Amino acid sequence: MRIAVATGPGGAGTLRPLAEDGTPAGPAETVPDLVAAIEARERAGRPRWVWPATARLYPALLERGVRVARCHDLELAETLLLGHAGRYGEPRSVRAAWARLHGAQVPADQAPAHEGPQPSLFDTDDPAPADDLDQIVEVHAAQQWSIAALPGFALLTAAESAGALVAAEMGHDGLPWSAEKHDALLTGLLGPRPSGGLRPRRLQDLADRINDAFGPHSHVNPDSPAQILKAFAAVGLPVASTRAHVLKKIDHPAVPLLLEYKELARLHTAHGWAWLDTWVKDGRFRPEYVVGGVVSGRWATSGGGALQIPRVLRQAVVADPGWTLVVADAAQLEPRVLAALAGDRAFADAAAHGDLYAALASAFPAGGALSARDKAKIALLSAMYGGGTGEAVQLLAVLKNRFPDAFGYVEAAARAGERGRLVRSLLGRTCPPPSADWRALTSTGDDDRASSALRSRGRFTRNFVVQATAADWALVLLATLRRRLTGLGSPRLVFFQHDEVIVHAPQELAGQVTAAIHASAQEAARLLFGGTPVVFPMEIAAVPCYADAK
DNA sequence: TTCATAGGCGCG
DNA sequence: AAAGCGCGCCTATGAA
């Protein structure tokens, strides 16, 4: 059973039961308290809720303690369907989808109402227009018809919608975060918290010593790459850039000071006290996730930088007393995905257990500075990213000879991209078409810029098929894990980063959570790849602090 | 003063 | 000179 949901004014709304294919299975009903009505029907029968956008509607339910098992997010589904049709970037609102169905003028999407107090959806003074239930019902039915015709899309849209539920729940529950530990870490590395916009003591000290190293009259701002370049040129050491790996190659007393400065300055500006004040409240870090924010299907964030937390700050992620963090990481996910995708028998056999790179190592010649395992890893990464300079050239040749189907799979994706064609993940998530600029550039000449653009597009599509299918797998894992955790009661998903999840759970449930994660990884592999011999092992640790994992 | 871009680096 | 994929966030910088 499905139920379509339209929000109305003042917390009211309208509901209508639907069959799986979207045809109405009963009359529309207007309810004065939409959240209460959803809660009652959720208890009665766990329907799949059909609503315009989980991100706008679900936070208000969570505020009132209401969670739902399943939904169909119309905007996310519309985005996936448009993408599959090569129509990236067209408006995805229910109104826009309805207008497309009727050949009417398609309204542009409203900019996400940023900032301001969170859920304005149920505010009585909400200026946003109420949803139109009839449009919701009609758009949903059209989507179901399209989805049924596309292999993988039923699973893809269900998983994307479940991901939206998880994202809202994680934003609501938050990642357990110790402000005390974070502050102590900052103080230890940077010195006491400075007042005003001053540099912390340790950074100022390094800045002074960097200037001393460049000479008595030096005025270098270490935050300015341009000034650093000039300073090195002035002492006879011209460098192409100030990136850490470039600076490491030159011999000058300022280099180690600069490297230390950059690292600490980054921590201070991106995840320092200002970040702590903004993003951590009541022992929880509540980021804003954007489901499907990356074209490959990975999530993005729109604030808080949840997907770029420096490893050193994992010390601040601490379970509540009596609780534990179950930290789970998919080992070597992308090469395993390639193995399963390509159906390369020899490669899949290597990916059938343990350490994939080690299993491949015997195919690569011994000798030299690199171990055979490292060579296997470089070859794989080059194949998936489109690298292949220096030593990687020979290693790629080995890969091509020994594992021709795996090599051929990403090569075919690269060639499709170079021809301007679309490529898709296993479940059908589709890459954006090349831009008009790209077409103009690559159709006219065969100069350097044109061939560079061609190769760039090839690298993108080459990587897309792997990264996006890995995202498919991770999203299905997340969806099935969420279902299992609901069965366990109190455990909560609190973090998801591409191929890694953290569950916050009472200590006594750590074993059951661990089992649930293993089972979900297996289920995801089966749902995507059927009977592939490739395994998708999870490295799991139940720890009091995130930093203790691995 | 505001805005867009580049350079750099954090994560996978 | 650029160079292997995908992101977000910060500062410096120069144009508007």
CA–CA distances in Å: residue A315 to residues A169, A183, A264, A548: 23, 11, 16, 8
Q: Which residue is nearest to nucleotide B12 (CA to C1')?
A: A498
What confidence score (pLDDT) does residue A112 get? 65
What confidence score (pLDDT) does residue A169 get? 97
CA–CA distances in Å: residue A304 to residues A168, A179, A271, A293, A380: 15, 15, 9, 15, 33
Q: CA quadruple A283, A288, A294, A298: dihedral positive or negative?
A: positive
Residue with token string 């190659």: A249
Positions of chain C reached by protein Cβ under 7 A: 1-14
Query: Domain A284-333+471-548's class?
Result: alpha beta
Element (H, E) at A175: strand A175-176
Distance A448 CA to B10 C1' (A): 32
Distance A302 CA to C16 C1' (A): 27
What confidence score (pLDDT) does residue A197 get? 76
Length of chain A: 550
CA separation for the pair A41, A18 (Å, rounded)? 13
Instruction: Give strand letter and number of the nucleotide nearest A221 (CA to C1').
Output: C12
What confidence score (pLDDT) does residue A129 get? 62
Q: Taking phi first (over 0 means left), then psi (-120 to 50 degrees means alpha), and beta for anything else, what does residue A143 get?
A: alpha
Instruction: Say which CATH architecture domain A180-276 belongs to.
Output: Up-down Bundle (1.20)
Positions of chain B reached by protein Cβ under 7 A: 7-12
Distance A549 CA to C7 C1' (A): 24
What confidence score (pLDDT) does residue A125 get? 45
Distance A230 CA to B1 C1' (A): 29
| A198-237 burial: b if 16+ Cβ within 10 Å, else e | ebbebbeebbebbbebbeeeeebebeeeebbeebbeeeee
Q: Which residue is nearest to nucleotide C2 (CA to C1')?
A: A452
Q: What's the distance, CA A347 to chain centroid?
A: 27
Distance A29 CA to C7 C1' (A): 43
What confidence score (pLDDT) does residue A213 get? 95
Distance A462 CA to C9 C1' (A): 27
What are A294's two structure tokens? 């990356």
CA separation for the pair A183, A529 (Å, rounded)? 46
Residues near strand B (C-beta below 7 A) are: A 225, 229, 241-244, 262-263, 266, 270, 307-312, 467, 497-500
Is A186 in contact with A273 (CB distance < 8 Å)? yes
What value does the mean pLDDT of chain A take? 93
Annotation: CATH topology of A335-463: DNA polymerase; domain 1 (1.10.150)
What confidence score (pLDDT) does residue A378 get? 92
Q: Is A488 exposed, middle or buried (0-12, 13-18, 19+ CB in 10 A)?
A: middle
Which parts of chain A have pLDDT scores under 70? 112-129
What confidence score (pLDDT) does residue A94 get? 97
Residue with token string 């609190």: A494
Q: Which residue is nearest to nucleotide B9 (CA to C1')?
A: A266
